[in-house]
Amino acid sequence: MPTTKSITRMLGAALIALLALTAPSAASQLTNVNNAAFAPVTGPTSIPVGAAEFCQRLRSECAANAKVVDAVTLDPAKWQQLLDVNADLNATIVPETDQDLYHIAEFWTYPHGFGDCEDIALAKRKQLIGDGWPASALLMTVVKEDNGDGHAVLMVRTDRGDLVLDNQDGMVRVWTDSRYHFIKRQSQANAAQWVGIDDERDAIITAKR
């Protein structure tokens, strides 16, 4: 019987082949504001409280990026890295709320076997940076679920679009295929600064009804 990891690899191979046929091949596509694969931003916005406290504790993790890479070229090896990191950390970190772990409502930190959504996203970001990915393309992102609850994911900016690594989803998806409403993300220039996301998909869907 195929393992979860082997299934993930097969899905990854199939999807990267599809991306090669259908997606734009150059990072310059980021300049096209009509390209829905890239989440449009509105400008500077407030930093989440948990993120601000995280940056105060670990200032080296929230510095300005000396070199800003707009988007990573997504080849098969890098695509597989995203799939593996998403699957491995989703499987090895046990979801647990900050209230249960630390007895406070919100606490962003690197997980040690247990953690909530933002902790798992931070772990994925750290792992990918260790694997050679530029920090400016790995952005902590705040979204809302259908029920209105807040949630955090890791947004990865590639030449194929903004991809989402989510502890509630085993697949890596383009942000427009995600079921969330996107609110804000880290700035590519500075991890301690955040920008708003102009997610108009709900308005478009409503207008078509």
CA 150/CA 180 separation, integer angstroms: 10
Split at pLDDT 50, 70, 90, the class of 201 is confident
| Average of per-residue pLDDT across 195-199 | 97
CA nearest to 195, candidates 39, 72, 30: 39
| CA–centroid distance for 7 within its chain | 22
In a domain, 32, yes or no: no
Is the pLDDT confidence value at 11 over 60?
no
Contact 161, 25 (CB under 8 A): no
Is the pLDDT confidence value at 74 over 80?
yes
| Average of per-residue pLDDT across 22-38 | 52
| Average of per-residue pLDDT across 32-51 | 87
pLDDT: which is higher, 83 or 31: 83
Answer whether 0.85 is exceeded by the pTM: no
In a domain, 166, yes or no: yes
In a domain, 71, yes or no: yes
In a domain, 158, yes or no: yes
CA 192/CA 54 separation, integer angstroms: 10
- Number of folded domains in the chain? 1
Question: Which of 33-42, 81-90, 136-145, 146-155 has the least mean pLDDT?
Answer: 33-42
In a domain, 30, yes or no: no
| Average of per-residue pLDDT across 1-9 | 48
In a domain, 34, yes or no: no
Is the pLDDT confidence value at 114 over 50?
yes
In a domain, 74, yes or no: yes
Contacts of 10 (CB under 8 A, 6+ apart): 2
In a domain, 133, yes or no: yes
pLDDT: which is higher, 23 or 96: 96
Domain containing residue 138: 4-21+39-208
| Average of per-residue pLDDT across 96-103 | 94
Is the pLDDT confidence value at 21 over 60?
no
Cβ burial of 38 (10 Å; 0-12, 13-18, 19+) is buried
CATH for 193: 3.10.620
pLDDT digits (tens, 9 = 90+) for 137-161: 999 999 999 999 999 999 999 999 9
